[in-house]
Amino acid sequence: MKIVALILALANPSLSYGQIKTAVAAVRAEQPPRAVNTFGGQYDIMDCGESDYTGGPPTRASEYAYIADKALIWQRDLPRIGYPRGVWAAPVARFESSGILIANSVDPKHFFDVWDDRIDASRKGLQNALLSYRKTHPHAAAIANGLGCGGGEVPVKLVTQPAATQVTIIPAFFYELCRVQKIDPNDTTRCAHWREVSGPIVEVSGNYRYVARWHDGTVKRGILDVESAADAGTITLRKP
């Protein structure tokens, strides 16, 4: 999936997978509840609702985030569609272990090339476990795999009323990651992933935090709900 660089790339090799997963979980937790991703009554384990975890060239941290996001989606969705933890916990853990091994052993530039070749076996293991369970538990949702994903970014027009002097944004993941690192995520200097929006159109994926400033010193902070704005194509930030 094409990623438009809106922020500086995250490059901190000291961050653990656990720290990254904590940040991703915080982003997921603050998003509005959503329906399970089903098509024609089937649950597709190839979920396409990813947030933006890169903001530039891939790094080990962004790879960890991609893996964690997939695992967290399954951990959230599968109990809701009739699959108990005992069915999916081990296959999901194996998926995470396989992904971490790839991330730790491959140059980030080639992560997704290797991922496509090697991770499918782990994902297939999860699919097989779910299909096997459903044979004797038909109440559980049907399982699909391989429907594929389109581009995740959407163009959004960002409007301020009245016109603000400055708007800065940060993907919600990086906001939470600064918190995990015990850096004030609202400090746009120390939390280094904030980016000023210089034009009216931004292409974004997932949710963002923003800070808008007006000439009289008024400051407004909040969340850009990109998914909700996708159809209208415009997000309006009004001065409080």
Mean pLDDT over all residues of the chain? 76
Euclidean distance between CA atoms 226 and 206, whole angstroms: 6
Of the three residues 144, 165, 199, the one that is the final residue of a domain is: 144
Tokens of 179: 């918190």
Q: In what order do the strands lie in the sheet with 234-238?
A: 201-204, 154-161, 234-238
Q: Final residue of a domain: which of 95, 124, 144?
A: 144
| Residue 5 domain flag | no
Q: Express each pLDDT in 98-115 by its tens digit.
A: 889 888 988 888 887 777
Q: Is the dihedral of CA 234, 65, 67, 143 positive or negative?
A: negative
Q: Are 205 and 174 in contact (CB under 8 A)?
A: no
**How far from the centroid of its chain's Cα atoms is residue 149's Cα?**
14
Identify the pLDDT of residue 12: 45
Tell me the pLDDT tens digit for each residue of 15-66: 789 888 888 888 777 766 666 766 556 787 876 554 555 555 678 888 888 8
pLDDT at position 33 is 64
For residue 208, what pLDDT band results from cuts at 50, 70 and 90?
confident
* Tokens, residue 30: 């603050």
Distance, C-alpha 42 to centroid of its chain: 22
Q: What is the mean pLDDT of residues 132-145?
A: 87
The DSSP result for 119-158, as a single string, is: THHHHHHHHHHHHHHHHH-TTSPEEE---------EEEEE
Residue 137 shares a structural domain with residue 21: yes
In a domain, 72, yes or no: yes
Cβ contacts of 128 within 8 Å, gap of 6 or more: none
Quick one: pLDDT at residue 202? 56
Q: How many CB atoms lie within 10 A of CB 36?
A: 14
User: Cα–Cα–Cα angle for 86, 90, 92, nearest 5°?
Assistant: 110
pTM, whole model, 2 decimals?
0.63
Q: 136 pLDDT exceeds 90?
A: yes
Place of tokens 């996001």: 69
* Total domains in the fold of the chain: 2
Domain residue limits at 112: 17-144
- Residue 159 has φ and ψ, to the nearest 5°, of -120, 140
Residues 152-198 pLDDT 10s: 455 677 788 898 888 888 887 788 878 877 889 888 888 877 888 86
Per-residue pLDDT at 231: 55
